[in-house]
Amino acid sequence: MFRIAPRLRLVKPRQVCSSWRNLNTQGTGLGLPETLRRVLDNGISGQTVRVTGWIRSVRVQKRIAFAEVADGSTLKGIQIIMDDPQMANELTTGCSVEIDGVLADSPGREQSKEIQVTAVNVLGRSDPESYPLQKKRHTLEFLREIGYLRPRSQTIAAVTRLRDHAEAGLHRFFHDNEFVRIHTPALTSNDCEGGGETFTATTSGSDHPETDFFGKKVNLTVSGQLHLEVFAGAFKRVYNFNQAFRAEPSQTGRHLSEFWMVEAECAFVNDLSTLINVEEEMVRSTTQYLVDKAGADLGFFTQKNEPLTRLVQKLTDRHQQFARISYTEAIDILQKAEEKAKFVYKPQWGNDLQSEHERYLATTHFAGPVFVTDYPAAIKSFYMMPNPDSRTVACTDLLVPGPCELAGGSLREYDYNRLAKKVDELGFEQGSLDWYLDLRKFGSTPHGGFGMGFERYIQMVTGLESVRDIIPFPRHAGRCQY
Amino acid sequence: MFRIAPRLRLVKPRQVCSSWRNLNTQGTGLGLPETLRRVLDNGISGQTVRVTGWIRSVRVQKRIAFAEVADGSTLKGIQIIMDDPQMANELTTGCSVEIDGVLADSPGREQSKEIQVTAVNVLGRSDPESYPLQKKRHTLEFLREIGYLRPRSQTIAAVTRLRDHAEAGLHRFFHDNEFVRIHTPALTSNDCEGGGETFTATTSGSDHPETDFFGKKVNLTVSGQLHLEVFAGAFKRVYNFNQAFRAEPSQTGRHLSEFWMVEAECAFVNDLSTLINVEEEMVRSTTQYLVDKAGADLGFFTQKNEPLTRLVQKLTDRHQQFARISYTEAIDILQKAEEKAKFVYKPQWGNDLQSEHERYLATTHFAGPVFVTDYPAAIKSFYMMPNPDSRTVACTDLLVPGPCELAGGSLREYDYNRLAKKVDELGFEQGSLDWYLDLRKFGSTPHGGFGMGFERYIQMVTGLESVRDIIPFPRHAGRCQY
């Protein structure tokens, strides 16, 4: 049924299935070849197995040959042992294989099982001269240059599995707490955050939005907050998990032009501490989920990294709240530390916290997560709820070691007249926020919400420096590969 | 701590909490006000309760008043009963309330519990004259005009909860089967599907992509397939759940410019039937998940709709495979039905199936889901695996009553030389697909995948005609509200 390239034999799924009858406990009968994870978890010594994957390394000795096969389902692959070194003749790093053999307990400490090979079948070859991913350690910068192959590297593979589990942990947290997921849009006609660092979506490329596809200027979203507020006005507790877009020209490893965010919005909440409770528990339970479900991948990053190990402990500790201080207290701490810390920017009440300030608070002073609350109104968004002092607003930033600013949230102004006055003062385009205002007309409720950068979260738990190594296909100024 | 608007009292979360000590079994202690679902599920008759939500309807009689309170957590709200009709004086449709009362068994058949009210507190008023959502039945078209309020309507609320559960069901299916979720990008420099119906993302709006943000033309993705293939080359089983974008000018209710898709890719698969097994089981288990977890919302659509009820039964029946026919057989069926069915387009081998043909197959002939396989190579994409007859390719479309084409998939050409020849013949921009070709250079494997339109899936199980009622914020030609 298939054109077969010379020297390429093909897997026969039905055979794979039948040789797996003992292991296949899923019962879906889908006929997919097994993953190595299930071989290692469920296989029994002495059992005949067929596995598929890619060769990570080969070691040929006089009377025996070893190779490591990986398939992305585990941090380490599985060791295969060939009693006849000639069996390894065609094995090169990167080639895809189908291996028949017998499962055996491994004498090594590194893994529990290995395979005594009876037949080797190379499915797709990999020229050892030109294959870019050799066994030697590559830098993350180099791996970025071969973005289409880097998922096979141990670091990127571990990050990918952690992303998968972290997302699952987030969904579990929100569903356990009865939040409804809302699919907020990427294309939007509002630009509430302002700032102008937005992408326009266009079909004509012209400067005349009125003749473009939507008949007006349409941007890629910078945040789903306003859209979530619409649904919080009917569902009480809502969240999203979406891409957001910022045309941030900076060329540091801290910013991506396309990144993932989780945002939540809760109606009938008039207390910032309640919002902080939700935010804190989201981070704690998601991290606990990683510890429980992806311990090996997490361990790959935390082992030999004392501060990261302690951070994960702090994040998952049920008996210890995250630190909570006001912006005013933060400024006080920073001013006292000024001499020792040698800040470039002077900490001063009224100015926004600089990265160096945030880093000092999270990494040096608290050495762990800290919620900073009640920032000056003048440096925060128009929709935030003013505090009774009328100088500050009921908002919070969550600072952590690593990415510094992990999340931000606030109570929202829910009174129509007060919000309308603000919108007016700020000179938004006439009518552009009418629908947002109208939400305050019909059954408005005290409410609030927050957003957390997903890549920043992964950056925090892996300790990786650049967010470019955390997203499958990084996009930033001057770079959009594939 | 908060500026209180005249006549607006505020919820005090701590009080809400303490009055809920008996019901709060979640143990998270987040301090969020309870949802009506938990009141109805876990509440005990005679218990003192405080609930929050929005008034859906009010009925005042001489000596008693009734109202329905909803908060999006249930299809129906909860009935509250006021022994003093004056308590209902300020209640209007749409206003937000906090209600204190005592839970009682309901004498009505429609719901199990109701609340005998002791105190009513209107939090946010809703002017009955101008509130657009009155108790009377509104058309879906009208609801689209008030997009910021329509989540409060029963239909849109039920769709929203079904979306949430359907997504959760998909994640469960893929994780149970050890697929890894990959966050494929929205911004992409490739346009593999061609066709030209793509949006460009730009910061300058100019016609000179080389001076734009990324230094080249960047589109909004139409499919994550190629990016998934990258990760399938390291992870064996991968999937995504993302937005896709098409600048489709059509003004029917069948197309959105921004929609959600789930796509999957499996390495080491060389058999179309294995791929079809995965696709079928994904649809079956997700639908079963809806039946199990969102029965009331699903029932809202299936009740009084015999064909839809039967369809859901067929989709969840573990003992009956979905129908599977070849394109050639489909043409045969269509040609035999030609006279009776009065097609506008003549069914003819070599031409693509028209909507009317697909509809006939799924709705009339099979009255259920049908996989059509092995279409002519000439009308399908360049990356699909040719069959030995060399006229057809190893692909499949899943047709269903309602949206017709629900999903599409294929085995992919995995041989470098054969694919390079194809890319050459089709005249793709020089070098633009090098990375995609290179995937076939280093450990290529037989593989395949498929994609399913998420809105189409929801359309199928709800029977709704227009996809514009299925996504929270519909975008289509000339329309991008909010």
Question: What contacts B434, CB < 8 A, 6 or more positions away?
Answer: none
Average pLDDT over residues B394-403: 97
**Angle, CA of B270, B275 and B276, to the nearest 5°:** 135
Distance (Å, rounded) from C-alpha A372 to C-alpha A389? Answer: 17
Q: How many angstroms away from the CA of B196 is the closest CA of chain A?
A: 9
More confidently predicted of A308 and B252: A308
Distance (Å, rounded) from C-alpha B365 to C-alpha A468? Answer: 51
pLDDT band, residue B194 (cuts 50/70/90): low
Query: What mean pLDDT, rounded, does chain B reach?
Result: 90
* Strand locations in A342-392 (E): 370-373
Tell me how far CA of residue A177 lies from CA of A173, B16, B402, B408, B424, in angstroms.
Answer: 6, 16, 34, 35, 53
Residues recorded for chain A: 482
Contacts 24+ apart (CB under 8 A), A423-427: A423/A382, A426/A382
CB-CB under 8 Å, A26 with B176 = yes
For the cut 60, the answer to whether the pLDDT of residue A245 exceeds it is yes
3-state helix, strand, coil in chain A (%, to 5): 35, 25, 45
Please give the pLDDT value at position A190: 79
Please list the alpha-helical segments (H only) found in B194-262.
225-235
Q: How many angstroms away from the CA of B29 is the closest CA of chain A?
A: 8
- The 10 Å Cβ neighbour count of residue A224 is 30
Distance (Å, rounded) from C-alpha B109 to C-alpha A466? Answer: 59
For the cut 60, the answer to whether the pLDDT of residue B19 exceeds it is no
Per DSSP, A416 falls in state H
CB-CB under 8 Å, A98 with B481 = no
Locate B129 and state its tokens: 């004259």
Average pLDDT over residues B179-184: 98
Please give the pLDDT value at position A192: 54
Please give the pLDDT value at position B441: 93
DSSP H or E stretch at residue A115: strand A113-124
For the cut 70, the answer to whether the pLDDT of residue A250 exceeds it is yes
Closest CA to A72 of A478, A472, A441, A359: A472
pLDDT band, residue B252 (cuts 50/70/90): confident
CB A473 within 8 A of CB A455: no
Q: What is the DSSP string of B42-104?
A: H--TT-EEEEEEEEEEEEE-SS-EEEEEE-SSSSS-EEEEESSGGGGTT--TT-EEEEEEEEE
- Starting from the edge strand earliest in sequence, which strands make up the sheet with B447-453, in order? B180-181, B237-245, B258-267, B447-453, B404-412, B395-400, B370-373, B323-326
Distance (Å, rounded) from C-alpha B127 to C-alpha B90? Answer: 10
Average pLDDT over residues B452-477: 97
Assembly ipTM? 0.93
Rounding to the nearest 10 degrees, give the CA dihedral for residues A360, A362, A364, A367. Answer: 180
Share of chain A above pLDDT 90, in %: 81
pLDDT band, residue A194 (cuts 50/70/90): low
First-residue to last-residue Cα distance in chain B: 32
Please give the pLDDT value at position A11: 38
pLDDT band, residue B136 (cuts 50/70/90): confident
Locate A67 and state its tokens: 């190779």
Average pLDDT over residues B188-216: 81
Residues of A in contact with B280 (CB under 8 A): none
Give me the residue label for tokens 């929203």.
B160
CB-CB under 8 Å, A176 with B472 = no
Report how many Cβ contacts below 8 Å link chain A to chain B. 423
Highest mean pLDDT among A240-254, A283-297, B425-439: A283-297
Query: What mean pLDDT, rounded, does chain A reach?
Result: 90
CB-CB under 8 Å, A186 with B243 = yes
Q: Which one of A31, A258, A271 has the shortest CB-CB distance to B274? A: A31
SS3 A428: coil
For the cut 60, the answer to whether the pLDDT of residue B471 exceeds it is yes
Per DSSP, B195 falls in state S
Highest mean pLDDT among A1-5, A158-162, A198-202, B38-42: A158-162
Q: Which of A18-27, A279-288, A308-317, B113-122 has the lowest mean pLDDT?
A: A18-27
Residues of A in contact with B14 (CB under 8 A): 271
Please give the pLDDT value at position B13: 35
Q: What is the pLDDT of residues A50-68, one digit of tens each?
A: 999 999 999 999 999 999 9
Distance (Å, rounded) from C-alpha B152 to C-alpha B143? Answer: 10
Which chain A residue has its CA at the smallest distance from B235's CA?
A72
Per DSSP, A219 falls in state E
Q: What is the pLDDT of residues A75-94, one digit of tens each?
A: 999 999 999 999 999 999 99
Average pLDDT over residues A232-246: 96
SS3 A261: strand
Distance (Å, rounded) from C-alpha A312 to C-alpha A97? Answer: 38
pLDDT band, residue A331 (cuts 50/70/90): very high
CB-CB under 8 Å, B206 with A202 = no
More confidently predicted of B217 and A54: A54
Report strand pairing: B323-326 vs A447-453.
unpaired
Closest CA to B97 of B38, B54, B35, B64: B54
Locate B160 and state its tokens: 């929203």
CB-CB under 8 Å, A269 with B236 = no
Please give the pLDDT value at position A27: 37
Q: What is the pLDDT of residues B287-303, one digit of tens each?
A: 999 999 999 999 999 99
Per DSSP, B384 falls in state B
Average pLDDT over residues B429-434: 79
- The 10 Å Cβ neighbour count of residue B318 is 9
CB A368 within 8 A of CB A280: no
Query: How far is residue B93 CA from its own chain's centroid?
Result: 29
Interface test with A, best of B20, B148, B412 (most A CBs within 10 A): B148
SS3 B370: strand
CB A345 within 8 A of CB A357: yes
Burial-class residue B344 by CB neighbours within 10 Å (0-12, 13-18, 19+): exposed
Which chain B residue has its CA at the smallest distance from A164's CA?
B181
Q: Which one of B31, B33, B213 has the shortest CB-CB distance to A277? A: B31
CB-CB under 8 Å, A185 with B236 = no
Report strand pairing: A323-326 vs A258-267.
unpaired
pLDDT band, residue A137 (cuts 50/70/90): confident
Closest CA to B72 of A443, A433, A263: A443
Please give the pLDDT value at position A21: 33
Distance (Å, rounded) from C-alpha B266 to C-alpha B259? Answer: 23
Share of chain A above pLDDT 70, in %: 92
Average pLDDT over residues B258-276: 97
Which chain B residue has its CA at the smallest distance from A443's CA?
B95
Distance (Å, rounded) from C-alpha B221 to C-alpha B218? Answer: 9
CB A335 within 8 A of CB A353: no
Distance (Å, rounded) from C-alpha B220 to C-alpha A185? Answer: 13
For the cut 70, the answer to whether the pLDDT of residue B15 exceeds it is no
Question: What contacts A69, CB < 8 A, 6 or more positions away?
Answer: A36, A51, A53, A54, A55, A56, A77, A78, A80, A97, A99
Average pLDDT over residues A348-362: 97
pTM: 0.93
Q: What is the pLDDT of residues A2-54, one digit of tens each?
A: 333 333 333 343 333 333 333 333 334 688 999 999 999 999 999 999 999 99
CB-CB under 8 Å, A482 with B227 = yes
Average pLDDT over residues B158-164: 98
Which chain A residue has its CA at the smallest distance from B444's CA?
A124
pLDDT band, residue A428 (cuts 50/70/90): confident
What string of H, E and C letters represents the secondary structure of B280-349? HHHHHHHHHHHHHHCHHHHHHHHCCCHHHHHHHHHHHCCCCCCEEEEHHHHHHHHHHHHHHHCCCCCCCC
CB-CB under 8 Å, B475 with A442 = no
CB B177 within 8 A of CB A26: yes
Please give the pLDDT value at position B4: 33
